[in-house]
Each structure stands twice: as C-alpha cells, then as structure tokens.
Amino acid sequence: MAKLSLRDLQPAGKRVLMRVDFNVPLGTQPDGSLVITDDTRIQAALPSIAYLAKAGARVILMSHLGRPKGGPDPAASLKPVADRLGELLDGPVKFAAECVGPVAEAAVADLKDGEVLLLENVRFHPEEEKNDPGFAKQLAALGDLYVNDAFGTAHRAHASTAGVTQFFKQNAMGFLIEKELKYLQDELASPRRPFVVIMGGAKVSDKILLISNLLDKADVILVGGAMAYTFLLAQGHEIGKSLVEREKTDLARDLLKQAEAKGVRLVLPVDSRHTAEFRANAPTECTALWSEGGAIPADREGIDIGDRAIEQFSAEIAQAGTIVWNGPMGVFEKEGFDIGTKAVAEAIAKSDAVKIVGGGDSVTAVNQFGFADAMDHISTGGGASLELLEGKILPGIAALTEK
C-alpha cells in the first residue's frame, strides 16, 4: 500500500519529530575534536528538513551514531553533526544534549516556527534498540507529527523507527524514503527490459534471498566478486586459494538449476584475474576461458573478473533496460585489483538503462571512480536496500500511515 508522504502533511506551526540517518563517519583532529569525514547522509536528508522548515514547522531531528554501549559516549555525540547541518542549511541548528527528559523537552519548548533542533544520540539509551514502549512514548511526546526519512535504519524495529509511530495519528515518509521506494520497489515492479542484475561480494550465502527473489523478476543475473568462485567450484573448476564457500556448492548448483527452469540467464565470468600476492599493485594474470580449461593455480588467488569477463559483462549491460548493481566484482579497495569493478561501473554509467545502485560497497565504488552522477539512484541504505530487494517488509516503513 502507498504510504503517507511528507507532501501530505500540514506542518505549519507543528512540532515535527523526524527520524534521520546521521550515522556518519567521524575522525579526530590534531586538537582532539571530532570531525565528520563524509557528510553524504546529512546531505541526503536536507530536502526534507528544508521543506519542513520553509513550511513553518518546528523541526525536531533524532538519529543514532555509532554503537555506544550502555550510555552516553562523547565519541558518539551528534554535536558535530548539528554544526555541519547548520553549515549546509546556511542557518543555525539548535542542539539538545539529551533526546528525552527535561533537557530535550526544554529545547523543544524553546523552538520557534521554521527552526531546527537536533537531539542527542538515541542509542545513548539501551531502550532504543529494544523498541521499549516507554522510551518510544517519551520520544513521541516531543512532537505532533512523525516523519521517517532514515532509510538506512528502516529495516530495524527500534523505538525511534517503529515504536514511536503508535503514538501519532499521522506517520509519514520523507523525500529520501520516498525516492528509495520509487526505485527499489515501484520501478522494479514492472522494470524496463531486459532487467539486468549485477551481483558481487564475498558470499553466496549473504545473497541467497536476494538471488531467489530476483529470479522471479530479472532477465539476466551477472555474478562477480568472490561469490563467483563458489559457483565455479560447483562446476568443477580449479580456483586455487580463492575465497570460497565450499559448503555452499550444492546451493550454487541449485540456484543455477532454478535460473534455468525460470528462463533467467545466471551468467558467471568467462575468466578471472588472479595473483600470488594479496597487496596493492601486485602482479596479476587472467585465466584462460573457464570453458576451455581455465584454472587458477593452487598457489594463487582470484581477486577480480578477467579481461574477457569485462567485455562479456559490458556487452550485457549495454543491452539493459533496467540495471540493479549490488556488490563489487573484486577487491576494488586495492589498486590493481579494481579493474573489473571500475569497468563495470563505467559500463553502467554509459548505459541508457534505468541505473540503480543498491547500497554497500557498490556505492563506495561508484563514488570512488567518479560515476555517481551518472546513476539514476544510489541507495543510502546497505542492509535496508538489500532486504527490500530480497522482498522483505521493512518495519520502519510498514509502521507508517497508509494513504
């Protein structure tokens, strides 16, 4: 069912309690102060925040940061985020040193129409992750309307993402979640064909639900990354010291059979790049075609798709109408092992297809190689995007009001 959107609210003069995902990486400056090293998640929330502030709402933001254990931790304070948010909004952002109780209540009471307040880290309270009803009620008391724009945590049933909604008559999604659902759910309900899924990463077992769900939707599934070696091993090929799930070869064979039965082409790389030294810029070689006796020597490790696999995957990508990419083709973090992942990213960028990058390392890759602007959608939620693509119901979205 369609969910209530931020556009459907009348927020003027109202206290709007909004869950955002400000779980950003922090570094330490020479003077010991914390500094944000990547503000992508803050920037992703700006449209919803700016919309509410311009509409005259009193905007109360809540988020988690890091994994504080059992109580407040200065290293996980959201104060640096409030400072950076103020710079991005080009206006002051108030900060409350607590997210519930008298300090938070006083900060909210002092808020005027159009002003923005950021509460301290909700995970300073263990009750947050336990979805404690009492804690959720305390949070809810700070607002008149609730908005969730934290897609990255929508797969968690926590107090600030799910429990809090039972205390509001209107629970709406923000613009970021609206966009995520448009591309990861609505767009894939009837995708432009051919629908090509590009899948990488380390383990078949991590992607089993994703593959199974997409076998009912995709026309082609391209498999790279370390997970390809489990499929290749299942076919009897020699993969040397490559990362592999030997206990999952039966699963790999079963997935290949399922794909064939459903008319989906599950495509493995025709060759692989391998090395004797797992270090940046180590010498590498490509196997012969796997179909022609290709093998990775016993003392070498596969670290990327090969040159001919790049041509193979690029040709499939060029024909696509819709592309979903989830997972790198190799160990792209190391220079010299990044050739396949960069080539696939470039091929996607050049494609005329609807281009969706499904979170995690794929997002890092398109940013690293400078292809982010060419993508139609880059998901902000690693685990959340994966679970949505797997066909799972996300608690943080299910809890929102239906239209």
For the chain, 403 residues long, give each residue's pLDDT as a single digit of tens: 689 999 999 999 999 999 999 998 888 878 777 788 888 899 999 999 999 999 999 999 999 999 998 789 988 999 999 999 999 999 999 999 999 999 999 999 999 999 999 999 999 999 999 999 999 999 999 999 999 999 999 999 999 999 999 999 999 999 999 999 999 999 999 999 999 999 998 888 888 888 888 999 999 999 999 999 999 999 999 999 999 999 999 999 999 999 999 999 999 999 999 999 999 999 999 999 999 999 999 999 999 999 999 999 999 999 999 999 999 999 999 999 999 999 999 999 999 999 999 867 888 899 999 999 999 999 988 788 888 888 889 999 999 999 8
What is the distance, to the nearest Å, from the Cα of residue 77 to the centroid of all Cα atoms in its chain? 23
130 catalytically annotated: no
Set 174, 360, 381, 382: catalytic member: 360
Q: In terms of Cα–Cα distance, which of 331, 115, 96 is closest to 227?
A: 331
> Into which CATH architecture does domain 183-389 fall?
3-Layer(aba) Sandwich (3.40)
Angle between helix 361-368 and helix 339-350 axes, rounded to 10 deg = 80
Residue whose tokens read 């239209």 = 403
Burial of 307 (0-12, 13-18, 19+ CB in 10 A): middle
* Domain-wise residue ranges, the chain: 6-176, 183-389
Are domains 6-176 and 183-389 of this chain identical in fold? yes
Set 203, 253, 265, 350: catalytic member: 203
Radius of gyration of the chain (CA): 23
Q: In terms of Cα–Cα distance, which of 100, 143, 141, 142 is closest to 122?
A: 100
340 catalytically annotated: no
> Into which CATH architecture does domain 6-176 fall?
3-Layer(aba) Sandwich (3.40)
203 catalytically annotated: yes
CB proximity list for 150: less than 8 A, separation 6 or greater: 19, 20, 21, 63, 161, 177, 396
Task: Answer yes or no: are the C-beta atoms of 66 and 23 closer than 8 Å.
Answer: yes
41 catalytically annotated: yes
Set 41, 207, 217, 273: catalytic member: 41
Set 56, 114, 321, 383: catalytic member: 383
pTM, full prediction:
0.88
The secondary structure of residue 338, as a DSSP letter, is: -
